[in-house]
């Protein structure tokens, strides 16, 4: 029974970590490279966490994430991604489990101005753990736990920059949910019937990142504190003969993470980053984590605003505004594309007020002296 509970808690803690994860280096998402184009990214990392509070869990896993996002004119960057985790967990008395996680997520980051931002992330996924555990007397129990999982998180932060250095405080709140689940474990000729109650978690995070920015690279250190406010793992266990036992364990805890990392812009379209973390905590801790990620820009970028109907230029770029101090100003002409003089077209030139004098204009289109083409400005 204890080994089964440890298998369930492995998947719960995997998902809790997943809910707090930032999809990828979130500043790579906000720090758009020239062109404001769509982005594709990928991230891979190795992690080991430890949990000791009436249970003994050691989980080593490899995780992979990838996604695509788009930059919008209203200050939002929005995208979607996929996640995959493959782990191997160790339990008390020599038990072990093969745990996996799959999820789909959508996310967005809003530019609030003055280097402030607001992030939201929603995830829906599937967790599973095929486990083989032992009791104190050495009896083996085999089972497979599967469940659906959901999470929603928000984050608010602001970056302060001075002389090439920056510091960035942030706060995050994440909600996680896993529904109730009935499943079985088997030991020789006996069967253990398990009912897991729904799990809900509310996790808060506060962090501070300090770094040095160069033209192509950034080096940083980050300190984070995390707290689970509500997590309770409840389960009912029966042998099918009327013998029932109910357990309830709290995963409320506080843990800390210290991270060192850096990123490098290897081209105008891409960035690469790498970081390593070490965790501390009374019951739960990320023993270590190392990860790397890549982000690339694709597509043609933002399209210019649509021109007013009927406007026409004779070559690309002719519609650009003339400098305010330009000594040569193009004369007004008539309706676009017709060659009609301005004085003959009411649609081309607004009629002056009564008593006002008309400016002197020429019916010939103005010539840009530095080029060889005539340009009509409508």
Residue 303 lies in a domain: no
Residue 71, pLDDT score: 85
- Residue found under tokens 């920059």: 161
Residues 278 and 324 in one domain: no
Domain final position from 274, 298, 322: 298
Residues 166 and 257 in one domain: yes
Token pair listed for 374: 């005539």
Residue 75, pLDDT score: 83
- Report how many domains make up the chain: 2
Structural domain boundaries, residue 25: 2-298
Contact between 108 and 120 under an 8 Å Cβ cutoff? The reply is yes
Residue 259, pLDDT score: 96
Domain final position from 240, 274, 298: 298
Residue 304 lies in a domain: no
Pairing of strands 199-213, 56-71: unpaired
Residues 278 and 316 in one domain: no
Residue 137 lies in a domain: yes
Residues 161 and 108 in one domain: yes
**Alpha-carbon separation of residue 346 from 305, 309, 313, 337 (angstroms):** 26, 17, 20, 15
Residue 306 lies in a domain: no
pLDDT per residue of the chain (378 residues) written in tens, 0 to 9: 788 999 999 999 999 999 998 655 455 555 654 446 788 999 999 999 999 988 899 999 999 999 999 888 888 889 999 999 999 999 999 999 999 999 999 999 898 989 899 999 999 999 999 999 998 888 899 999 999 999 999 999 999 999 999 999 999 999 999 999 999 999 887 899 999 999 999 999 999 999 999 989 999 999 999 999 988 899 999 987 878 899 998 899 999 999 999 999 999 888 999 999 999 988 999 999 999 999 888 876 553 333 334 444 333 333 343 343 444 444 444 444 444 444 444 444 445 455 444 444 444 444 444 444 444 444
Residue 342, pLDDT score: 42
Please tell me the distance from the alpha carbon of residue 174 to that of residue 177, in angstroms, as a whole number. Answer: 10
Contact between 169 and 223 under an 8 Å Cβ cutoff? The reply is no
Residues 321 and 231 in one domain: no
Residues 96 and 127 in one domain: yes
Residue 305 lies in a domain: no
Residue 330 lies in a domain: yes
Residues 158 and 106 in one domain: yes
Residue 353 lies in a domain: yes
Residue 53, pLDDT score: 84
Residue 209, pLDDT score: 95
Nearest to 3 by CA among 88, 77, 95: 95
Nearest to 155 by CA among 175, 184, 127: 175
- Residue found under tokens 């607004």: 350
Domain final position from 298, 325, 340: 298
The phi, psi pair for 367, rounded to 5°, reads: -110, 130
Residue 73, pLDDT score: 81
DSSP 367: B
Residue 195, pLDDT score: 95
188: left (phi over 0), alpha (psi -120 to 50) or beta: left
Please tell me the distance from the alpha carbon of residue 159 to that of residue 109, in angstroms, as a whole number. Answer: 14
Residues 182 and 330 in one domain: no
Please tell me the distance from the alpha carbon of residue 126 to that of residue 132, in angstroms, as a whole number. Answer: 20
Residues 132 and 275 in one domain: yes
Residues 210 and 143 in one domain: yes
DSSP string, 29-82: HHSPPTT--EEEEEEEEEEEEEEESSSEEEEEEEEEEEEEEEE-TTSEEEEEEE
Nearest to 189 by CA among 246, 139, 144, 137: 139
Residue 7 lies in a domain: yes
Residues 355 and 285 in one domain: no
Token pair listed for 333: 């002409």
Residues 326 and 278 in one domain: no
**Residue 188: which CATH number?**
2.40.128.130
Token pair listed for 372: 């060889």
Per DSSP (E only), the strands in the chain are 38-52, 56-71, 76-90, 96-113, 116-134, 140-158, 160-162, 165-178, 181-187, 190-196, 199-213, 217-228, 232-238, 244-250, 253-267, 270-281, 284-298
pTM for this predicted structure: 0.76
């Amino acid at each position: 029974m204890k080994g089964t509970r440890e298998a369930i808690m492995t998947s719960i803690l995997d998902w809790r970590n997943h809910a707090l994860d930032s999809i990828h280096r979130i500043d790579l998402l906000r720090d758009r490279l020239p062109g404001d184009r769509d982005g594709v990214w990928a991230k891979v990392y190795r992690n080991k966490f430890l949990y000791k509070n009436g249970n003994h869990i050691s989980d080593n896993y490899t995780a992979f994430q990838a996604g695509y996002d788009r930059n919008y004119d209203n200050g939002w960057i929005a995208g979607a991604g996929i996640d995959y985790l493959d782990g191997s967990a160790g339990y008390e008395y020599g038990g072990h489990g093969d745990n996996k996680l799959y999820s789909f997520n959508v996310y967005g980051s809003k530019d609030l101005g003055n280097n402030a931002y607001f992030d939201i992330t929603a995830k829906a996924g599937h967790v599973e753990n095929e486990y083989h555990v032992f009791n104190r007397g050495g009896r083996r129990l085999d089972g497979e736990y599967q469940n659906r999982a959901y999470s929603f998180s928000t984050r608010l932060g602001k970056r302060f920059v001075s002389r090439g250095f920056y510091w960035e405080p942030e706060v995050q709140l994440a909600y996680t949910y896993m529904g109730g689940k009935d499943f079985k474990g088997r030991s020789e000729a006996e069967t253990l019937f398990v009912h897991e109650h729904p799990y809900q978690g509310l996790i808060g995070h506060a962090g501070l990142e300090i770094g040095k920015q160069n033209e192509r690279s950034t080096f940083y250190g980050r300190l984070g504190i995390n707290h689970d406010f509500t997590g309770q793992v409840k389960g009912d266990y029966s042998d099918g003969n009327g013998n029932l036992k109910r357990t309830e364990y709290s995963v409320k805890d506080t843990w800390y993470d210290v991270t060192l990392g850096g990123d490098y812009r290897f081209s105008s379209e891409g960035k690469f980053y790498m970081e390593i973390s070490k965790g501390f905590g009374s019951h739960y801790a990320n023993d270590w984590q190392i990860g790397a990620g890549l982000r690339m820009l694709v597509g043609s970028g933002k399209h210019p605003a649509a021109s007013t109907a009927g406007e026409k230029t004779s070559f690309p770029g002719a519609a650009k505004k003339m400098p305010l101090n330009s000594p040569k100003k193009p004369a007004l002409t008539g309706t676009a594309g017709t060659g009609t003089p301005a004085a003959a077209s009411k649609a081309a030139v607004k009629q002056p007020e009564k008593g006002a004098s008309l400016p002197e204009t020429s019916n010939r289109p103005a010539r840009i002296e530095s080029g060889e083409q005539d340009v009509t400005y409508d």
